[in-house]
């Protein structure tokens, strides 16, 4: 079929070698080479420059490769849609998410979907905020769970989780009994910080200009797991929304004290779905399940909020 030769083209281009492509495809090298030569003869132009150690795409090959990858993607989507008509949903869902929702929301939603639809696979990416922007700009994720801004034009927000940045600490911390806190008050104590503190940087910089305070970061990390362990050990205060700490707060192991700075008092996490893929069955079932688990999380957050 047409799809076969395009798949050969894609593999040779990706691996830079007919031999390596044939091994990956589990076919004979001569079969792959024959199909590429036939395609070149049909088009009337060379698609690859043959070299001693492999091949490299020509300008014509680059152009055809874009068509091939788009066609293969549409072919796979069509096959998945036909399978879904029989109740057998196939496909891979690519999800980009902030770390706090990897604690319970995303794993629980995937577990529920996988139990009902064993042929759906999942690619879950926990990226830094700068990488989130690039992922969304390129339109790679099918679904994203990120703080809402106005840059995701190819995506629709189908659910929102309203929350606020707070100071996470142990119940026996000297500031734990305070109803609300400023960043200046927190700066009197060691803190644990994410490598990219996102919104916190701009707000703290503005406040500290007037107060003269400065954070003493005992630990810098991009790992929520490390942050949790450090806060639970009493190594410092962390600045997070409660979304990734609900279980620990419910058990009384940690508390979240609200921050009063207007720039931190409210934020929204959005469930984004790519507009052109929202109706794809494998994307739709995961998005629906994520909405349900976000609703559950919202109820849990409300239950632990200070009265």
Please report the pLDDT score of residue 297 as a whole number.
93
Q: Note whether 21 and 7 are same-domain residues.
A: yes
Q: Which of 56, 84, 112 is the last residue of a domain?
A: 84
Please report the pLDDT score of residue 187 as a whole number.
87
Please report the pLDDT score of residue 123 as a whole number.
93
Q: Note whether 203 and 79 are same-domain residues.
A: no
Q: Note whether 105 and 233 are same-domain residues.
A: no
Number of structural domains found in the chain: 3
Please report the pLDDT score of residue 167 as a whole number.
92
Please report the pLDDT score of residue 205 as a whole number.
54
Please report the pLDDT score of residue 229 as a whole number.
94
Is the CB of residue 155 less than 8 Å from the CB of residue 273? yes
Domain extent at residue 95: 89-161+267-304
Please report the pLDDT score of residue 204 as a whole number.
56
Q: Report the percent of the chain where pLDDT is more than 90.
A: 36
Q: Give pLDDT < 70 ranges for the chain.
A: 1-2, 83-86, 127-130, 150-152, 196-213, 263-265, 306-307
Please report the pLDDT score of residue 113 as a whole number.
95
Q: Note whether 254 and 170 are same-domain residues.
A: yes
Please report the pLDDT score of residue 124 as a whole number.
94
52-55 long-range contacts (CB < 8 A, ≥24 apart) are 53/17, 54/16, 54/17, 54/18, 54/20, 55/12, 55/16, 55/17, 55/18
Q: Note whether 136 and 282 are same-domain residues.
A: yes
Q: Note whether 141 and 8 are same-domain residues.
A: no
Q: Note whether 43 and 93 are same-domain residues.
A: no
The verdict on pTM exceeding 0.75 is: no
Q: Which of 62, 84, 106 is the last residue of a domain?
A: 84
CATH number at residue 272: 3.40.190.10
Please report the pLDDT score of residue 150 as a whole number.
60
CATH number at residue 24: 1.10.10.10
Please report the pLDDT score of residue 246 as a whole number.
93
Q: Note whether 96 and 133 are same-domain residues.
A: yes
Q: Which of 84, 108, 124 is the last residue of a domain?
A: 84
Q: Note whether 118 and 248 are same-domain residues.
A: no
Torsion sign over Cα 10, 13, 19, 24: negative
Q: Note whether 77 and 129 are same-domain residues.
A: no
Q: Note whether 49 and 194 are same-domain residues.
A: no
Q: Note whether 152 and 202 are same-domain residues.
A: no
d(CA 37, CA 32): 9
């Amino acid at each position: 079929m047409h799809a076969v030769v395009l798949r050969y083209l894609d593999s040779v281009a990706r691996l830079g070698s007919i031999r390596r492509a044939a091994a990956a495809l589990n076919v004979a090298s001569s079969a792959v080479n024959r199909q590429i030569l036939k395609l070149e003869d049909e088009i009337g132009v060379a698609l690859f420059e043959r070299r001693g150690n492999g091949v490299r795409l020509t300008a014509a090959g680059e152009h055809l490769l874009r068509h091939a990858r788009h066609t293969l993607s549409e072919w796979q989507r069509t096959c998945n849609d036909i399978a879904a008509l029989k109740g057998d949903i196939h496909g891979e869902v690519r999800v980009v998410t902030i770390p706090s929702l990897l604690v319970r929301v995303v794993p629980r939603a995937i577990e529920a979907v996988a139990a009902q639809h064993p042929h759906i696979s999942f690619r879950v990416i926990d990226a830094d905020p700068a990488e989130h922007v690039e992922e969304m700009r390129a339109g790679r994720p099918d679904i994203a769970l990120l703080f809402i801004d106005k840059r995701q034009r190819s995506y629709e927000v189908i659910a929102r989780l309203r929350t606020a940045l707070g100071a996470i600490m142990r119940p026996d911390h000297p500031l734990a009994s305070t109803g609300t806190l400023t960043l200046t008050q927190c700066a009197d104590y060691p803190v644990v910080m994410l490598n990219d503190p996102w919104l916190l940087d701009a707000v703290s910089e503005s406040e500290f200009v007037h107060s003269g305070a400065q954070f003493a970061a005992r630990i810098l990390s991009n790992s929520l797991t490390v942050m949790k362990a450090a806060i639970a050990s009493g190594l410092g205060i962390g600045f997070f929304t409660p979304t990734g700490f609900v279980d620990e707060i419910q058990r009384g192991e940690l508390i979240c004290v609200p921050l009063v700075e207007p720039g931190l008092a409210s934020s929204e996490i959005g469930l984004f779905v790519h507009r052109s893929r929202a109706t794809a069955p494998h994307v739709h079932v995961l998005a629906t399940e994520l909405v349900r688990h976000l609703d559950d999380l919202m109820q849990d957050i409300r239950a632990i909020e200070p009265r």
